[in-house]
Amino acid sequence: MSYPMKKSRRFFGEIFAVWLAGVTLVMAGPRHSPDIGSLPPVPYNAAEAAKYLENFRYAWLLSDTAITFDFVHRPRHGEETRYSGIGWTSTNSAGPVTRFQLAKVPANKADKPEVWEWLLQNGPSPHVWVIAPGETTAREVPAEKWRDPLLPGMIYTPFDLMMPFLFWADYKYEGTARSAGRGLDIYTMNPPPAEKAAGLGPVKLFLDRELNALWQMQQLDAKGAVAVQFKLGSVAKIEDQWMFEDCQLENMLSHDYDKFVVKAVALKLKFDPAFFDPANLAKPMPLPPADAWHTM
């Protein structure tokens, strides 16, 4: 299914493609410094709340983008584990699309890391493909496996990067709040029957009205307790655009968390759409020129 693309400047972080996305994924940012007040914003009425969420769902990057990044897994007890990667984001008729390579950083720098190739198609009808170490062609990951870790030992999953709950039809606008100086609009997204039957609970979104960004996200379990929590970290201004520098996803049961850290970003790019075809996932993706990168 295709639909009109409503593009805007994105505050890159719904992590990739609402990321990565929103992830990818991706958040719209202002051209000026965010205003920090003392009171919550005036709540929207029902029509305004619906329009704001719809615009947030479809506010994508104006241009293709590349980033280099680290995932740092920090258990409550034990040593941290570092993963490094590079990602490319674009859009097509189905929505935001993200391709990225991810590898565990070996303890011995002389060892060759095992690289995983991922392709995430976001939007109302999402899909996931992967090439794991030892494989030569892309295979589609079934939806019931989207909540498995990207790599063994991580907390982040394809579900967390794509944020398909942004497109769940059943939601409730809860009003506004202010946290850490941010004016937030709060939505509770209720899972469709299939996801609910699989034990998935609602997801609470805390959207920063000024940045038009996902400031915080809470995945609830079937009993309503917070199981996983996402928080946006620091931000920086690149080419007159606000960009996120880091964010973290925490397992609220174990209190282990993954921190996603952007190392460099390249904006205003144009990629060949063929590179985002699953059939071409094994082919090398071209790197932007050295002068296109901005170190974070």
Specify the CATH number for the domain of residue 95: 2.50.20.10
Alpha-carbon distances of 45 from 1, 38, 50, rounded to whole Å: 30, 21, 9
pLDDT score at 17: 43
Whole-angstrom Cα distance, residue 195 to residue 143? 10
Q: Hey, what are 110's tokens?
A: 């002389």
Whole-angstrom Cα distance, residue 291 to residue 266? 9
Mean pLDDT over all residues of the chain?
83
Other beta carbons less than 10 A from residue 179's beta carbon: 12
- Higher-confidence position of 130 and 1: 130
Q: Quickly state the pLDDT bin for 61 (edges 50, 70, 90).
A: low
pLDDT at 11 over 50: no
Instruction: Report the candidate in 93, 94, 145, 92 with the shortest Cα–Cα distance to residue 118.
Output: 145
- β-sheet bridge partners, residue 83: 71, 104
Residue 252 lies in a domain: yes
Residue 19 lies in a domain: no
Residue 57 lies in a domain: yes
Residue 159 lies in a domain: yes
- β-sheet bridge partners, residue 265: 67, 294
Q: Quickly state the pLDDT bin for 28 (edges 50, 70, 90).
A: very low
Residue 122 lies in a domain: yes
Residue 156 lies in a domain: yes
| Centroid of chain to Cα 156 | 10
Residue 40 lies in a domain: no
Whole-angstrom Cα distance, residue 230 to residue 244? 13
* Torsion, Cα of 265, 66, 287, 132 (10° steps): 120
Residue 7 lies in a domain: no
Q: What would the mean pLDDT of 251-274 be, rounded to a whole number?
A: 92
Q: What is the number of structural domains in the chain? A: 1
Domain encompassing residue 85: 46-295
pLDDT score at 187: 98
Q: Quickly state the pLDDT bin for 46 (edges 50, 70, 90).
A: very high
pLDDT at 254 over 50: yes
> What share of the chain in percent tops pLDDT 70?
85
